Amino acid sequence: MTTDPFRDAFERMAPRPVDPAAARAELGALTPGFQKARRFHRVRLGAATAVCAVGLALGGPAVLGAVGSGDSSAPVDFANEGEPGPDIADAAEVDSAVDQIDDSSAGEEFETPDHLDSDGSSDPTEDQPIEITGVADDSADSSVPSADDTTTPAAAADEVAVSDGGSVSYKVVDGALVFVNHQPVSGFEPELVKDNGHEIKVRFSDASVYFEVEIELKDGVPEEDSTGPRTLGSSGDNSGSGSGDESDEHDENDEPSTEEG
């Protein structure tokens, strides 16, 4: 028996806790929903992982930057997804602060990584077998990179130049420009036009247009340029989304085209 009258009152007057059998029955009723949530969570993680992988393969940081260019005004605490929020010293601010922390959004809608998880989203269900093809498990020992991984694939060490027709991976080794590979966008055929150690030029063409990606080593620093779209077999100009200024360095059989900013 304590001497604290409040503790006595709470112990005496509080409702009785649910017994273990009832708790077990409750869990049995909740488990299907839990499992569904876990599968959904894994699908989201898998999708996030796939987006990262595709982004890195196609365009590297540029593509990822474009993909992630949505509104990110609300900062997400990736270290505490679905978990307790910031400490609030002022008691009067408890309510408003907790509102901001709203864990339901943290864990569910945007399970933040520990989250790319939000919801808290971001998470380890590591020891569970993966039930959905193509879904990444965020377990520590998984061979599939999780959304929380901060490391990037080995290929990411290469530089990537991007155009709307595809991307070109390259690197600088001992002062020379080294072509690594090209990744055409679906429907485009890549052609390595130039690769001489200080200049790389790749053309991505489909049935009617082509894009070119050029990388030139200037004073030891690679400079990227992308042009296009240009129309095959015509001298007309094409509007397009080429990011770079059009270069004068066309091959003889290149169709003349007007610059597209």
Residues that bind other proteins (CB under 8 A): 5-7, 9-11, 13-20, 22-24, 26-27, 30, 33-34, 37-38, 41, 82-91, 94-95, 97-99, 101-104, 107-108, 111, 114, 119-128, 138-139
| 3-class secondary structure, 25 | helix
Q: Based on CB atoms, which residue is closest to other proteins, 102 or 251?
A: 102
Q: Based on CB atoms, which residue is closest to other proteins, 94 or 192?
A: 94
d(C-alpha 234, C-alpha 1), whole Å:
95
Q: How far is the CB of 45 from other proteins (least distance, A)?
A: 10
Q: How far is the CB of 124 from other proteins (least distance, A)?
A: 4
- In terms of phi and psi (left: phi > 0; alpha: psi -120 to 50; beta: otherwise), the region of 33 is alpha
Q: Based on CB atoms, which residue is closest to other proteins, 91 or 173?
A: 91
Asked if residues 106 and 120 have their Cβ atoms less than 8 Å apart, the reply is yes
| 3-class secondary structure, 154 | helix
d(C-alpha 213, C-alpha 133), whole Å:
35
Q: How far is the CB of 116 from other proteins (least distance, A)?
A: 13
The helix (run of H) or strand (run of E) holding residue 46 is helix 20-58
DSSP class of residue 17 equals P
Q: How far is the CB of 149 from other proteins (least distance, A)?
A: 14
Q: Based on CB atoms, which residue is closest to other proteins, 97 or 144?
A: 97
